[in-house]
Amino acid sequence: MTTWMLSLLGGVLIGLSATLLMWLNGRIAGISGIVHGLVSEPHNDSLWRIAFLLGLMIAGGITMRLGDLGTHSRQDFPVLTLVIAGLLVGVGTRMGGGCTSGHGVCGLGRLSLRSLAAVVTFVATAMATVFIFRHVFGVLP
Amino acid sequence: MITRLISALIAGALFGVGLVISRMSDPRVVLGFLDVTGAFNPALLFVLGGAVGVTVLLFRFVLKQPKPLLDSSFHLPTNRSIDARLLIGAGIFGVGWGLAGYCPGPALVALSGDVTEAFYFVPAMIVGGILYRVFALPWTPKP
């Protein structure tokens, strides 16, 4: 299969996952919301979150190893940048109430204008960030 | 109760496999998509197109049901306002996404795939969420 077919197939699987979780459990498959909910929501609400994340990490990790897709990961990407990026993603998704999956896959699927505004905003600032750090300063790969 | 956990586990597994085979778990592919003025890589358009295509098509039938199969009601966000908190939050998230090429799902998969970068990114992401909750949330006016 060509790369774009795999991308499309992977996207369809993600969409089916979100549909399944909504149809069966009535929950939004938003990864940031599921993660943040583990530390902020009542504990009787934690188990399904843990189950979803376990499934994501076990199946994703195995697929990565089987397909040899993780072994050629980037070398020498600056650690400080990873930490700052992680902090910004944590703060931003908590503040904005969602990430690529919650606002993107699920919010757009519900035809939510709020999610559309979020998606347009984060794609725009992400593209601007890449432009600035890659092409203006030339400091990040 | 146990059926709800099994369905969450299966949904999570589908999601994880989808992220990896679509290559969205590779930050270089993500940054390639975000690099519109450079070596633009359209792969993510197919990922998002496939995922959103399925949810747009199927959510309308799912959400017409009186309730989900395994729970008493749908747990949907009630906040519909497009306010400063949403836009600033989404803007900050985008900067972090553009810096390293990881959003939360791919970062968790990379952690489990033993990708070293994720061991720095994921703890920072969780700390960021907690920091926001501890410092900013008490001052944020309720909508």
Mean pLDDT for A90-119 is: 96
Q: Which residues contact A128 (CB under 8 A, 6 or more apart)?
A: B94, B98
List chain A residues with CB under 8 Å of B123: 86
| Cβ B102 vs Cβ B30: under 8 Å | yes
Residues B24, A85: Cα–Cα separation, whole Å: 17
Angle at A60 between CA A55 and CA A66, to 5 degrees: 130
- Minimal-distance CA residue of chain B relative to A86: B125
Q: Which residues contact B70 (CB under 8 A, 6 or more apart)?
A: A24, A25, A26, B3, B4, B7
- pTM given for the model: 0.95
> CA torsion angle for B83, B64, A15, A63 (degrees, to 10)?
120
Sign of the C-alpha dihedral computed for residues B136, B138, B139 and B142 taken in this order: positive
Tell me the pLDDT tens digit for each residue of B62-76.
999 999 999 999 999
Q: How far is B125 from chain A (nearest CA, A)?
A: 4
Mutate to test the interface with B, among A130, A135, A136 (most CBs of B within 10 A): A130
Q: Which residues contact B27 (CB under 8 A, 6 or more apart)?
A: A74, B100, B101, B102, B106, B117
Mean pLDDT for B93-106 is: 97
**Of B1, B86, B100, Cβ closest to residue A117:** B86
**A–B CB contacts, 8 A cutoff, strictly below:** 476
- Minimal-distance CA residue of chain A relative to B15: A14
| Cβ A71 vs Cβ B65: under 8 Å | no
- Minimal-distance CA residue of chain A relative to B87: A118
Mean pLDDT for B107-117 is: 94
Residues in chain B: 143
**Of A9, A47, A109, Cβ closest to residue B55:** A109
Tokens of A129: 């960030």
Q: How far is A29 from chain B (nearest CA, A)?
A: 8
**Do A25 and B127 lie within an 8 Å CB cutoff?**
no
pLDDT at site A68: 67
- Minimal-distance CA residue of chain A relative to B108: A57
pLDDT at site A67: 75
Q: How far is A114 from chain B (nearest CA, A)?
A: 5
**Do A118 and B90 lie within an 8 Å CB cutoff?**
yes
**Do A129 and B99 lie within an 8 Å CB cutoff?**
yes
Sign of the C-alpha dihedral computed for residues B112, B116, B117 and B122 taken in this order: positive
By C-alpha distance, which of A138, A66, A103 is closest to B51? A103
Residues in chain A: 141
Q: Helices (DSSP H) in chain B: which residue ranges?
A: 2-21, 27-34, 43-62, 84-100, 104-112, 116-131
List chain A residues with CB under 8 Å of B80: 112-114
**Do B46 and A7 lie within an 8 Å CB cutoff?**
yes
Banded model confidence at residue B141, pLDDT cuts 50, 70, 90: low
**Do A11 and B53 lie within an 8 Å CB cutoff?**
yes
Residues B108, A70: Cα–Cα separation, whole Å: 13
- Minimal-distance CA residue of chain A relative to B64: A23
* Distance, first Cα to last Cα, chain A: 28
Tell me the pLDDT tens digit for each residue of B22-43.
999 999 999 999 999 998 999 9
What is the residue whose two structure tokens read 């050629």? A72
- Of A25-29, A42-46, B115-119, the one with minimum mean pLDDT is A42-46
Domain borders along chain A are: 3-136
Tell me the pLDDT tens digit for each residue of A37-79.
998 777 778 999 999 999 999 999 999 988 766 556 788 899 9
